[in-house]
Amino acid sequence: MKEFKLKEFITEFIDSRTNNMEERHRLIVFMMTMFVVFIGFPCHIFGLVGTPSTIMRLLSAISIFSSATLVILYVKRKIELVPVFTIFGIIGQGVQTLKILLLTFYVGGDRFYLIPLNHTISMVYTMLFVMAYSKIMPTIITGVSLTTYIISMTYLNEEKLFAFFVVFFFVQFFICFAGSFTRQSFYSLQQQNQNYHISEKRLNSLLRLKRDQIEAYLNLCQNDHASDKDIDRLFAILDDRSQRNIVNAVKKKMAELKAEKSSLVETFTDFTPTEIEVSRLILLDKKLKEICITMGKSETNINSVRSHIRKKLGLSANEVLKDALESRIKTKNVF
C-alpha cells in the first residue's frame, strides 16, 4: 500500500512539473541522478568507499549540500529544471576535477585506482546529460574530464593511466556522438508528432468532425466487408443532418453507378456482372491494384477477367483494352 502511494505521489509530481515528453524524461533522469548522489557520496563520507582523506570527504559533502540545495530550490519553484541540472553538472564535474588533481599532487593512497574511479564518475555525468537531451554539457564535461586526466597522467607518468586513457577517450567520444544522434532523432520525431497533431486539428476543423467520427468513418471505408456494427457505430455518433447528408450522397452515387452499369450492360450484352464492373473501372482509368482493392479480389483474378473481356472483344495482344472499350461505346452512342 505504501509502495503504491509513493508511486502515485511521484507520478503526480512529475505530471505537475512537466508539459511534454522531453521535460518528463529530463525530470526522471534528474530524479534518478539525485537518488544516486544521495546514496553514493554519503558512502564516501562514512568511509565505505574511496580515500579516507578529510579534504576528499569534504568535497563529497559539498556535492551533497549543493545537490540538496538545488533540489529544494526546484521543488519550491525558485528555479527551472534545465538551470538546476546545468548547475549540478558544473559543480559535480568541478568537484571531480579537484579530486583528481588532489590525488595527483597532494593526497596519497592508491592513486592508480582512485583517479580512474573518479574519472568514471565524470563519464557517468556525461551519460546522464546525454540521457537528459543536453546539447552542450556532455561535451563540456568530456573536455574538462579528459584534460584533467591528461594532466594527471602526464605528471605521474604511469603506464596504467595511459592504458585507461585510451579506453576513457573512446568511450566518452562514443557517448557524446551517440547522444548527439539520439537527441537529433528525438527532436525529429517530436517535430513529426507535432506536425501530425497540427494536421489532425486542421483536418478536424475543415471537416467539422470530431476525432471519433473520423475514426468511425475511416474504419468503415477501409473495411472490405463492413459489418452492421461498423455501420451502426458511424451513424450513432453523427447528428441527424450528417446522417441525412450521407444517405443522400450514397443514394445519388448509387444511382450514378446503376446508370453507368446499365449503359455498359446494353453495350456489352455478353459480359458477366464481374466483367461489367471491371470494364467500368478500366474506363475510369483505374490501375490494376486499385481495381483489386475496389473489388476485393486478387490480381490473378482481375487479370483473368481482363483476359476474358479481351477475348470477347476479339482484341490482339497489341491493342489497348481501355481504347477498345471506349471505341465500342462510341459506336453504340451510349455516352
Q: Cα(226)–Cα(243) distance, rounded to whole angstroms?
A: 17
Residue 53: the pLDDT is 81
C-alpha radius of gyration, the chain, whole number: 36
> Rounded to whole angstroms, how far apart are CA atoms 60 and 102?
13
Q: How far apart are CA 85 and CA 75, in angstroms?
A: 13
- pLDDT one-digit tens code per residue, 71-124: 999 999 899 999 999 999 999 999 999 999 988 888 666 777 888 888 888 999
**Residue 217: exposure state from Cβ atoms within 10 A (0-12, 13-18, ≥19):** middle
pLDDT at 88: 93
**Grid coordinates of 225:** 466487408
Last residue of a domain, one of 181, 201, 227: 181
Same domain? 159 vs 266: no
Whether the pLDDT of residue 198 is over 70: the answer is no
Residue 193 in any domain: the answer is no
Which residue, 123, 157, 181, sits at the end of a domain? 181
Q: Are 164 and 116 in contact (CB under 8 A)?
A: yes
Residues 168 and 28 in one domain: yes
| Residue 325 belongs to a domain | yes
Q: Clarify whether residues 175 and 259 are in a common domain.
A: no
Q: Is residue 219 part of a domain?
A: no
Residues 175 and 311 reside in one and the same domain: no
* pLDDT exceeds 60 at position 208: no
**Cα gap 302→298, rounded to integer Å:** 6
In this structure, the answer to whether residues 162 and 294 fall within a common structural domain is no
CB atoms within 10 A of CB 301: 15
pLDDT of residue 68: 93
Tell me which of 181, 215, 242 is where a domain ends: 181
Phi, psi of 48 (to 5 degrees): -80, -30
From 24, 97, 38, select the one nearest 72 (Cα to Cα). 38
Write the pLDDT tens digit of every residue in 121-170: 899 999 989 888 888 899 999 999 999 999 998 988 888 888 888 888 89
- In this structure, are 127 and 33 located in the same domain? yes
Q: What's the half-sphere exposure (Cβ side, CA atoms, 13 Å) at 296?
A: 6
Tell me: pLDDT of 6 over 80.
Answer: no
Q: Is there a domain that residue 206 lies in?
A: no
Domain count, the chain: 2
pLDDT at residue 215 tops 70: no
Domain membership of residue 265 as a residue range: 255-332
Whether 229 maps to a domain, the answer reads: no
Does residue 240 lie within any of the structural domains?
Answer: no
Per the domain annotation, does 8 fall within a domain? yes
Do residues 11 and 157 share a domain? yes
Q: How confident is the model at residue 296 (pLDDT cuts 50, 70, 90)?
A: confident
User: Which CATH number do you get for residue 287?
Assistant: 1.10.10
What is the pLDDT at residue 335?
44
Determine the average pLDDT of the residues in 40-46.
86
Same domain, 268 and 168: no
Average pLDDT value for the chain: 82
Inside any domain, residue 34: yes
Same domain, 156 and 12: yes
Percent helix, strand, coil in the chain, to 5, is 80, 0, 20
